[in-house]
Amino acid sequence: MSIDGSAERRKQPPQTQTPSTGNGNCGISSMSLANRLRLNPNKEHKPDSYDDLHQLEFSPLLFSSLERYLPPTMLNGSRDLKLQYMRDILLRYSSESERTRVQRHREYRQKIISHYQPVHKELYTMQAAQFFVPSFLKAINENTEDSFRSIMAEPAPGIYTFEMLQPYFCELLLSEVETFERWVIETNFRIMRPNTMNRYGCVLDDFGLETMLDKLMEDFIRPMSRVFFPEVGGSTLDSHHGFVVEYGTDKDAELGFHVDDSEVTLNVCLGKQFSGGELFFRGVRCDKHVNSETQSEEIFDYSHVPGHAVLHRGRHRHGARATTSGCRVNLLLWCRSSVFRELKKYQKDSSNWCGECQREKKERQRQSIAATKLELLKRDGKPTS
């Protein structure tokens, strides 16, 4: 399987539609066919709220996040004008068929939520003091790089590990997932699995946990990602895909070499009793270099500990070794940035975060320096061997 085969069912397709033009307003004569965002956000601008617009094709949070990246002439325009401009940009990512699919998924999700009865309702709202260990909460409340690093280890470049979840939360979530899976069997309801590589597990967003996981991303993962992953949109994470995966001798045993459809991935072991199942990492890659060779310094293996988290770039190539006994269950949150995905189209390369791009850039620099030295030696009449 190609490493790109892991792209889950909700991955946005390539551009299939020319963005529409907007109507002139607020001193702006017209919108260009090539609507574009600023490369750097206006950090002083306070964006409008779009929470009251429930029929939008995209999350209201996404529009508030994008607004700081609008061209300067747009920032003081009406909310409707800004909404149309941003919507035109976002529609580049989804054809009419894709939007129809999204609507059908909403209906599928609503059907589950209207019939499934949660057993642990406290899970469905963010109760930080009960969910997280005190050290994690303290670091988040202080919200500084030093506070984050005080609870983290960085055993390999770009891979951060830390204690995060209390046993109470892990037990509750495991119980809720088991109850949901029994309901699926009893009602013969056909559910969508987390992605194309996992046959076991479930999408937490689909049965009501989306709001809680949004809060987890916005208030806890985004502050850390802003510090450690700014080059891949860590400060502008605005959507997520949250799910649980299950591994064991009678389930998925292992997970092949792949990348995630995310900018930043949170992976937390919930339990239970198991052996094996180590994660193996093999370097960060852009689309161009996703199948390139692994360098020795990029090799790193990680053993799961219940309640402990791993935070890494979605494009950090990885996989999971076989779980040789027991059952391992993990919570994953794929965090995405629409801003980063839009701006990435205009970047010439990914040398600020892709390991292979960095090596190619260094090699070009080395060749340029060597050529310059050779030219200088020729001018001075010195031997060039």
Lowest-confidence pick of 124-138, 247-261, 319-333: 247-261
Percentage with pLDDT > 90 across the chain: 52
- DSSP secondary structure letters along 70-90: S-GGGTTS-HHHHHHHHHHHH
pLDDT(208) > 90:
yes
Q: Could you tell me which CATH class the domain 123-344 is placed in?
A: mainly beta
Residue pLDDT, tens place only, 277-291: 999 999 999 988 988
Tell me the H-state helices in the chain: 60-67, 79-90, 96-115, 128-131, 134-142, 145-151, 167-187, 210-216, 222-228, 338-343, 355-379
Q: Amino acid letter at 119?
A: V
Collapsing DSSP states into helix, strand and coil, what is residue 167? helix
The count of other CB atoms within 10 Å of the CB of residue 198 is 20
Residue pLDDT, tens place only, 57-93: 777 777 888 888 898 888 989 999 999 998 888 777 6
pLDDT(320) > 90:
yes
Collapsing DSSP states into helix, strand and coil, what is residue 40? coil
Domain assignments of the chain as residue spans, ordered by start:
123-344
Task: Please answer whether residues 225 and 237 qualify as being in contact, where contact means their C-beta atoms are separated by less than 8 angstroms.
Answer: yes
Q: How many helices and strands, by DSSP H and E, does the chain display?
A: 11, 12
Closest CA to 302 of 281, 283, 275, 287: 281
Angle at 32 between CA 28 and CA 34, to 5 degrees: 145
CA distances from residue 106 to 55, 81, 109, 249 in whole angstroms, order as listed = 11, 27, 5, 34
Residue 89: its pLDDT value, please? 81
pLDDT(17) > 50:
no
The count of other CB atoms within 10 Å of the CB of residue 177 is 21
Top mean-pLDDT range of 156-160, 351-355, 371-375: 156-160
Give the whole-angstrom CA distance, residue 324 versus residue 305: 16
